[in-house]
Amino acid sequence: MLHGSCLCGGIRYRVHGPLRDVVHCHCSFCRKAHGAAFRTRARLATRDLEFVAGNNLLTWYRSSPDQHRTFCRVCGANLITRFDLQPGEISLALGTLDDDPGVRPRAHLHVASKAPWYEITDGLAQYHAGER
């Protein structure tokens, strides 16, 4: 089992199942939402994530017609994204984990939207847009 939390610690969660499909996403939505060069996220089954504290602090923003990004309303930490079209699956901001998940990023997505001030220097695969 893995543990994670937001910056202020008000929201705490546990991951009970496998994390997969870890990527760095450079799309403008992820850059804006995280205030960073990219968002590193993993996919997991919705049922495998359990909030153990601060469920009431989780705030939602609909960033696309079918996507809801969440963040802590106290500290602003980005947590999960839910997909209306894929309710059984969520995306988790890996930076909020307190444990090593074991899995590692495999690719950079939406490289066409990359911040001009950030240079990718690793050997991971790069995709102009998403993969699907």
Binding site for Zn ion (CB under 5 A): 6, 8, 10, 25, 27, 30, 72, 74-75
Q: Write down the least CB distance from residue 41 to Zn ion, Å.
A: 8
Q: Write down the least CB distance from residue 27 to Zn ion, Å.
A: 3
Q: Which is nearer to Zn ion, 45 or 75 (CB)?
A: 75
Q: Strand order of the sheet with strand 67-72?
A: 58-64, 67-72, 78-83, 89-93, 39-45, 20-25, 107-109, 125-126
- Both structure tokens of 34: 């995280």
Give how far Cα 107 sits from Cα of 12, 44, 58, 131, Å.
28, 17, 29, 10
